[in-house]
Amino acid sequence: MYYIGHLIDLKEYGEGVIYYKNNEIYYEGEFVNGKKEGKGKIYKEDKSLEYEREFKNGKKSGKGEIYSELFSYSGDFIDGLPMEKAL
């Protein structure tokens, strides 16, 4: 993977994009001190959206939505985990 965006002290900061080796987008959104922070989206290698909304300290946190062939979930996340059952 590789990153295109702003750096401060050699850490990702502000708006940026992380790409898979095949040049498809893995993550696009906000960074603070080298970690996902704020609003962003994670994509699968097949270009489909996997998760979107809020991140804190590099993990899914706050309001978010997961998209999968098996289930979907829209709600709150804490420390990367959904707080309710998947729909």
At 23 the pLDDT is: 96
Summarised one tens digit per residue, pLDDT across range 4-41 is 999 999 999 999 999 999 999 999 999 999 999 999 99
Q: How many Å separate Cα 85 from the centre of its chain? A: 20
At 71 the pLDDT is: 86
Sequence ranges of the domains in the chain? 2-82
Instruction: Say how many Å lie between the first and final Cα of the chain, rounded.
Output: 31
At 85 the pLDDT is: 54
pTM over 0.85? The answer is yes
In the CATH hierarchy, which fold is given to the domain comprising 2-82? 2.20.110
Summarised one tens digit per residue, pLDDT across range 51-73 is 999 999 999 999 999 999 888 99
